[in-house]
Amino acid sequence: MADDRPGRPHVPRSLQPAGLVAGICVLGVLLTVLATWAAVRADTNTEQRLLDTQTRQASAVLSTSILTIQQPMAAALQAESVLGRAEGPAAFTRIFAHQVDADGPFVSASLWHRDGDGFTRVATVGGPSGLDPRSAQTRQLLDQALAADTSVVRRLLVGDQSRIAYALADPDTGYVVYAERAIPADRRASVDRTSAFSGLHYAIYLGPSTDSASMTTTDVDPATLPLDGATSRASVPFGDTVLTLVTAPRGHLGSTLSQRLPWVLLIGGLLLTLASALVARQLSRSRHRAEKDTATITSLYERVDTLYGEQRALSVRLQEALLPRVNPGIPGIEISSEYVAGAQGVDIGGDWYSAIAVDEETFAFVVGDVSGNGVDAVAEMARARFTLRAYLFDGDGAATALAKCSRQFDIAADGHIITVLVGVGNWRTGEITVANAGHPLPLLTSDTGTAFVPMPVGLPLGAGPCTYDSATFALPLGATLLAYTDGLVERRGEGIDTGMQRLVEVVQPLVARPLLSLVDSVVASMRDQDTADDIAVLALRRVGT
């Protein structure tokens, strides 16, 4: 009688032991081959996923490296925009003095200015440029930079040395910063010593193409490119082009078990069919561990997202802790203020405002902005805020306080540009005297109209020894003076004049509202949700005694 129990092969009576053994062997070999094939596929897929993950991490490191290259160029353009043509070249030279040397990222840097149909080279730091300054190629590159929304990146061949050329422009001022970075002779990228590149062979190409002419850096012999076998690719935005990162594993990226498992299955299955069951159980356990590891990684990513949000909230609380908790009570003057953190990143900014009662009739106010962000920017903000506060409490006028405070800073040494608006007023008469260190003009609004207060604008703090001129105007009863930082009016790809005109159009219909409602509405209407810049607003309304 045949044995028909489930899970066991059907063995006829006529089947001899040898046939049974043969059948079991055939079945065991078949199962072993299938299991081995499945293990190879699983290991191959896992290796590819690990390679893709590590490639994304390497591309993130590469993207961060690009930001550090572009930061001094952007800072130089900002200095030119603030300081103007007379003072700008000196600031450019100071900024790039530490960038163009044996240890710096650049071998050459120059500052250009649009003059009519051509360009004038204003300043040069470092060795000679790889491009002839008089050539049509140079002019074409500078024209492209002025027309682009981002930096223009090109590859140059200077003798037997390859270089990467960068051009970043400010269309509003006509300035262009041009710099060249040498590709190392050994073709190794400076970031490949980070953990993100460990276990990877890589080749980095300028542009989307991966031909030999586009290759910039690699850790293998260029003659062996392109990388073969299992590879992964990522594109990193790089100015007006991209860096294409192609990677291949140096060895097995996963666990030793996943690498050897196919051989274990094959040998064990051939030796004993029982080993197939044991290996299957091991595979089950391995799968369970993989699922557990996946759940752990998912949990870690969720924790990272949570920590990111907590860090940002902590940063905002730190910034707000350095701002006044409440505005002072000044007779005849109603005060309202608001601070809004930038929408991107976790770093805190350097925007601030302050209002103080100096004596029985005199009050003062300050609105300032420190360029950049992070702890250094906040430290500079705190130093400027408390220094000005001390001078104003001592009875110094607006211009005198600014001049004294400016001597405490140095843009080249501190690495930050500080703009400030200082006002000293008499609440009985409504007369206010203001001095301005490179800051946006305040807005005066009343029933009769809305306009920016005309005043002389001096250099930012720390731009060198200077004095500041002041202007005096009257704040009528019921009128509101609105002081702010540039984050309120600036938007990417838009001129500052457009933003200031938009502010006038937003404020004029709100003049009759309560001051708190006016400030809330102005910030809500003017704020760009995608901006990374902070906003500080201080509003003063004269209400009489």
The secondary element (H helix, E strand) that includes residue 275 is helix 273-322
DSSP-assigned letters across all residues of 32-48: HHHHHHHHHHHHHHHHH
Which contacts qualify for 209-213: CB closer than 8 Å, 24 or more apart? Answer: 209/244, 210/244, 210/246
CA distance 422 to 356: 11
SS3 content of the chain, % helix, strand, coil (to 5): 40, 25, 30
Level-2 CATH architecture, domain 323-542: 4-Layer Sandwich (3.60)
Would you state the pLDDT for residue 501? Answer: 94
Reply yes or no on whether the pLDDT at 352 is more than 60: yes
- The dihedrals phi and psi of 360, each to the nearest 5 degrees, come to -65, -30
Domain with CATH 3.60.40.10 in the chain: 323-542
What is the per-residue burial (b if ≥16 Cβ within 10 Å, else e) of 502-516?
bbeebbeebbeeebe
The residue with greater pLDDT, 11 or 514, is 514
CA distance 35 to 45: 15
Domain with CATH 3.30.450 in the chain: 16-271
> What is the average pLDDT value for the chain, to the nearest integer?
85
| Average pLDDT, integer, range 97-111 | 83
Sequence-ordered list of residues with C-beta below 8 angstroms from that of 91, at least 6 positions apart, any chain: 76, 79, 80, 83, 411, 412, 463
pLDDT-based confidence at 194, cuts 50/70/90?
confident
CA distance 503 to 302: 40
Decide: 315 and 341 in contact? Cβ < 8 Å: yes
DSSP-assigned letters across all residues of 106-160: -SEEEEEEEETTEEEEEEEEES--SS-TTSHHHHHHHHHHHH-SS-EEEEEEETT
Decide: 153 and 240 in contact? Cβ < 8 Å: yes
Q: Strands (DSSP E) along 404-491, which ranges?
A: 418-426, 431-437, 443-446, 449-452, 457-458, 470-474, 480-484
Q: What is the DSSP letter of 359?
A: S
The residue with greater pLDDT, 22 or 461, is 461
- Tens digits of residue pLDDT in 288-322: 777 787 888 888 777 766 665 665 565 556 556 56
How distant is the alpha carbon of residue 450 from its chain centre?
36
Reply yes or no on whether the pLDDT at 218 is more than 80: yes
Would you state the pLDDT for residue 463? Answer: 85
pTM of the shown model: 0.46
What is the number of other CB atoms lying within 10 angstroms of the CB of residue 492? 10
* Topology adopted by domain 16-271: Beta-Lactamase (3.30.450)
Q: How far is CA 82 from CA 102, 175, 443, 459, in A?
A: 30, 12, 20, 8
Please confirm whether the linkage preceding 89 is cis (ω < 30° from 0). Answer: no
Range in 105-119, 165-179, 305-319, 525-539 with the lowest mean pLDDT: 305-319
Would you state the pLDDT for residue 15? Answer: 46
Would you state the pLDDT for residue 205? Answer: 93
3-state secondary structure of 208: coil
Decide: 276 and 268 in contact? Cβ < 8 Å: yes
Reply yes or no on whether the pLDDT at 280 is more than 70: no
Would you state the pLDDT for residue 14? Answer: 45
Would you state the pLDDT for residue 10? Answer: 47
CA distance 411 to 33: 71
Q: Tell the residue number behind the tokens 């081959």, with chain if given.
A: 33
